[in-house]
Amino acid sequence: MFVTRRPAGRWLAGGALLLCLAVTAGYLPDHAQGGDPLREMTRPRYADGKQLLLPGEYRNWVFVGASLGLSYSETARESGPGLFHHVYLQPEAYAHYRRTGQFPEQTMLIMELYRPEQKVSINRGGYFEGERVGLEVAVKDRGQFEEGWAYFDFANGRRPQARAFPKQSCFDCHLQHAAADNVFTQFYPVLRSINAAGR
Amino acid sequence: MFVTRRPAGRWLAGGALLLCLAVTAGYLPDHAQGGDPLREMTRPRYADGKQLLLPGEYRNWVFVGASLGLSYSETARESGPGLFHHVYLQPEAYAHYRRTGQFPEQTMLIMELYRPEQKVSINRGGYFEGERVGLEVAVKDRGQFEEGWAYFDFANGRRPQARAFPKQSCFDCHLQHAAADNVFTQFYPVLRSINAAGR
């Protein structure tokens, strides 16, 4: 009895170690690791009901496009080129969109706004990005918002939580004009190229 | 003897499993995992001596800034606003720069160039990014290039490998005018904010 149990203990140790190495090295498929490709995705968090908390670190999210002074109005701008926009989404939401052509539930798109600058250092023509002046977030979360998507202004990060804009402020226009599921993929080259591939 | 060895086998199994869980969950510090924060960084690869191979997937790299029509010449542009630039670097190089204020050896910066578009869909004013028309790379690799940095044009991805520009084409100007180690961090808000923090 003792003789058969002693090696069994060692086999158990060896098996645990091998399983560990396989998981750590990523040799096992997702489902064998109990995994879902969206498992690691940063999720929207709420306070006091439907107030979205400012998402934390998004510098490692996937950047999908920039624009300068993008507007939907025929009225000419009073002066200057307008603001730069940066748009990011979670890497897992990006991978899902590449794979399926759909944004998963709890996708978040971050929009940063930067003031344009010029003629600093050796720059003579054109515009680069100066100070950040805005931070807004779009969230797809049908569990929280009847329309599916909601839009938030974090006052350039000064507001730690924000209430969704009224439906007619953002949602209606996104619904009507955005190329894919309320997202203006037609303006973001990194997402547009996926659309174009028909995926 | 058997009595003391049997539980030892089980302890060994338990210990292996705990170690596994600790490593997988990231509870052990880098050095205890035998790790280096730069270990996973995508490295430059070369063919035929010093021809850089086109880096593969960089969509998950860290985006550091955009610009439109940035030029260093007093001569007015013939027409139009010029091209959008996107600049990315490896996430590990970004984390290292945040931590130390230095770009590690084998940092790569990718620059994508996009043609500006307007008046598509509901857009009336300003510019968004149309077709990609260029793909260039800067590499810090003193093991390969005497000056430390070298610059490559991949003909918008049509060229699978590229020879470095002559020193006077890019290097000299970067050396003279770039705010940090040949990188124009003064034009990239994500890197500039780190400089400004004095890190």
- This complex has an ipTM of 0.79
Least CA distance to B128: which residue of chain A? A67
Length of chain B: 199
Q: Are strands A161-162 and A108-117 parallel, antiparallel or unpaired?
A: unpaired
Bridge partners (DSSP) of residue B129 are B116
Q: Does B94 touch chain A (CB under 8 A)?
A: yes
Third-level CATH fold of B36-196:
Chalcone isomerase (3.50.70)
Q: Is B176 helix (H, G, I), strand (E, B) or coil?
A: helix
pLDDT of residue A196: 55
| Higher per-residue confidence, A98 vs B19 | A98
Q: Does A179 touch chain B (CB under 8 A)?
A: yes
pLDDT of residue B167: 86
pLDDT classification of A80: cutoffs 50, 70, 90: confident
pLDDT of residue B24: 46
Q: Taking 90 as the threshold, does the pLDDT of residue A129 lie above it? A: yes
Model confidence, pTM: 0.80
| Higher per-residue confidence, A125 vs A127 | A127
CA distance A10 to A18: 12
CB contact under 8 A, A129 and B24: no
pLDDT of residue B91: 97
Q: Is B123 helix (H, G, I), strand (E, B) or coil?
A: coil
pLDDT of residue A169: 86
Q: Does A126 touch chain B (CB under 8 A)?
A: yes
pLDDT of residue A198: 45
pLDDT of residue B1: 40
The sheet with strand B46-47 has its strands ordered as B46-47, B51-53, B161-162
Q: Would you give the DSSP letter of residue B157?
A: G
Minimum-distance CB partner of B73 among A125, A177, A189: A125
pLDDT of residue A2: 42
Q: Taking 70 as the threshold, does the pLDDT of residue A105 lie above it? A: yes
pLDDT of residue B35: 76
CA distance, residue B48 to nearest chain A CA (Å): 32
pLDDT classification of A122: cutoffs 50, 70, 90: confident
pLDDT averaged per 10 residues in sequence order, chain B, 199 residues? 48 52 47 75 92 94 96 71 96 96 97 93 87 97 95 96 91 89 93 68
Domain A37-196 architecture: 3-Layer(bba) Sandwich (3.50)
Percent of chain A with pLDDT over 70: 78
Q: What's the rounded mean pLDDT across residues A107-125?
A: 90
| Higher per-residue confidence, A8 vs A184 | A184
Three-state SS across A30-77? HHHHCCCCCCCCCCCCEECCCEEECCCCCCCCEEEEEEEEEECCCCCC
Place of tokens 């971050």: A110
- The secondary structure of chain A as a DSSP string is -HHHHHHHHHHHHHHHHHHHHHHHHT-S-GGGGT--TTTTPPPP-EETTTEEEPP---TTSEEEEEEEEEE--SSPPSSS---EEEEEE-HHHHHHHHHHSSPPTT-EEEEEEEEEE-SSTT--EEEEEEEEEEEEEEEE-TTT-TTSEEEEE-GGGT-SEEPPPPTTTTHHHHHHH-SBTTB-GGG-HHHHHHHHTT-
Q: Are B86 and B66 in contact (CB under 8 A)?
A: yes
CA distance A107 to B185: 31
Q: Taking 90 as the threshold, does the pLDDT of residue A78 lie above it? A: no
Chain A environment of B16 (Cβ under 8 Å): 13-14, 16-17, 20
pLDDT of residue B15: 52
Domain ranges of chain B: 1-35, 36-196
